[in-house]
Structure 1
């Protein structure tokens, strides 16, 4: 846990205080959440991503890339980036370099969609009939994550975030609504979490635990992936991730049903926060006020912002100045245009000029 801030200093903006995350010195606690954008044509990161990510980079700021697919069989959506081929690695390099040129810390989120896939690579709204992985196939998928982590470091990323949330393959193993296996990867909580922790162990051994984060949504029901006892799941994973000594745990708030739906939840991430020894990151519908509050209360170390950071490339500066925010336009979020809804959201200075 980080050092708790004093509530006596009215000038402090908790989100904008520095934080030491392992070997990484962060100048503020506003994190760019991983955001799928569907603009990596043919699964290759494109030059327009250089501008997109560098717009949101700041000296000492922490960015997490959109999910990068770990293998050809891990794909689920059209025009999402991969990290399994040499061509993809080379395409990521100038993007990473641009973030580093502005002093940012950049992690690559590693993704395998599992059953959330379809054979025709459409928008992803209809899915092919899945089949369970054979027990002898599981080590190959674990190895795909390991190789993808190696590729991410080769591309220049500072580390990786393992995507264990939102109903994709790792979440599918962990949640008992989905996992009906009868082998050593199904049944008990320990068995259902076995695959996730094998991935964590393999990736940590490959690139070092201090370069590894894990994203988890134990309370959510993304892609019809729910669990009958999310409190037990969250605590078990927090304790297990701590044993592996990874850098951070990135948890989705219980109030988030989907990426856009929010409700009042009786559950809390606080027990998970207390059980995890490394840096704790929360995400899920936060604004400036909410983010400042949870950091001040020491309920988290960092706060990840998705839609707000997408629509406001200079979000930390706007938080600092208590400036008005650009509105997020969902209609242009997932289109393939290399500019519209991607790199054309105005900075604060541009917004001011337009009003004049």
Structure 2
């Protein structure tokens, strides 16, 4: 690598933060929140162990009870949740790390057991998600959603802004709106889920409206320099599809370029699956429309991450599953050391096992 090529392991200036490296811990749902959907002491340990990442993006955290889609996921809408997260951010900052919280509304990917008053989940249109959610310690089919009334949408946009303000109170360095993986923002964007006939449906401009209103509300609350966004333009996650994703996400990027967010975080391909799920889709065309910090995710290993950073094709690389089993992932990658195997049986729910007990390199050496 020449002296002029950027390195995965060199510091990177992101907004007001100087990240120790360009390796990001991607958001990872672990279903271990305590009563009241508050992150507990184990979450403090879990994130502090991983503070060697240049940036940590938390597990997705719902902006309201209505926004919840899985059992035991943390929120950021009550004072108790803010206090729980404050313990996490204080501990991560004490280790020299940086941290943003992912703001989540699942939309139709939910179950009546999780909704206020046992009501139906909400969505752009009353189209059921062909996927499962996690309730009662197991996977179950999602419930039939109801279409949001137009008058309700502004309240959800306001929930994003309130959650962002709570995040700053909790000590986060910023937020990431979850616009990916088939959840509410993604449902509004894609015509496979959005069949509205008002000004939030139909044209690409209309389907982008909810995302851009949520971004604008959060930016007005905490500033563009603390507001990131995650998108998954071609992922079929949670049963989503669009008839023309290139045109849709080209437009989204052109609109984001006007707003100067902290970063755009793009899932390339199918979330947690093949990268070549849409071979005709051009991620380069998206990058060409957005001049801000560009974060990539999905199936990255050391070789691929090193190459895209050196080539200037991305500024940051987010690693997901490798961080579950390797709290010291950055050091392992730096040394070319072997990675721990992930225990799939402990991914969702439970306690310390498979959460905070994966060995560090130092432990393995001893």
Which residue of the other structure, out of 156, 173, 176, is the alignment partner of 1:161? 176
Which residue of the other structure, out of 282, 285, 291, is the alignment partner of 1:271? 285
Gaps of 5+ in 2: 115-134
- How far apart are residue 346 of structure 1 and its match? 0.7
- How far apart are residue 124 of structure 1 and its match? 5.1
Superposition pairs of residues 1-356 of structure 1, within 5 angstroms: 7-9=1-3, 14-42=7-35, 43-58=37-52, 61-121=54-114, 122=135, 123=138, 125-254=140-269, 256=270, 258-263=271-276, 265-266=278-279, 267-337=281-351, 339-353=352-366
- How far apart are residue 268 of structure 1 and its match? 3.4
Deviating runs (4+, > 2 A) in structure 1? 7-10, 258-265
What secondary structure is seen at the aligned counterpart in 2 of 1:14? coil
- How far apart are residue 9 of structure 1 and its match? 5.0
Query: 1:309-334 deviations in whole A, cap 9, x for unaligned?
Result: 11111111111111111112222111
User: Aligned pair in 2 of structure 1 residues 115, 203: CA closer, same or farther (>3 Å)?
Assistant: same
Aligned-partner Cα distance in 2 for 1:332–1:81? 18
- How far apart are residue 41 of structure 1 and its match? 2.6
Aligned-partner Cα distance in 1 for 2:215–2:275? 29
Query: 1:133-171 deviations in whole A, cap 9, x for unaligned?
Result: 110000000000000000000000010000000000000
- How far apart are residue 335 of structure 1 and its match? 2.8
CA contact (8 A) 2:346 2:353 kept: yes
User: Aligned pair in 2 of structure 1 residues 131, 82: CA closer, same or farther (>3 Å)?
Assistant: same
Cα RMSD (Å) of the superposition? 1.6
Aligned-partner Cα distance in 1 for 2:277–2:364? 34
Gaps of 5+ in 1: 1-6
Query: 1:199-252 deviations in whole A, cap 9, x for unaligned?
Result: 000000000110000000011111111111111122111111111111100000
CA contact (8 A) 1:251 1:282 kept: yes
CA contact (8 A) 1:117 1:124 kept: no
Deviates more, 1:220-229 or 1:140-149: 220-229
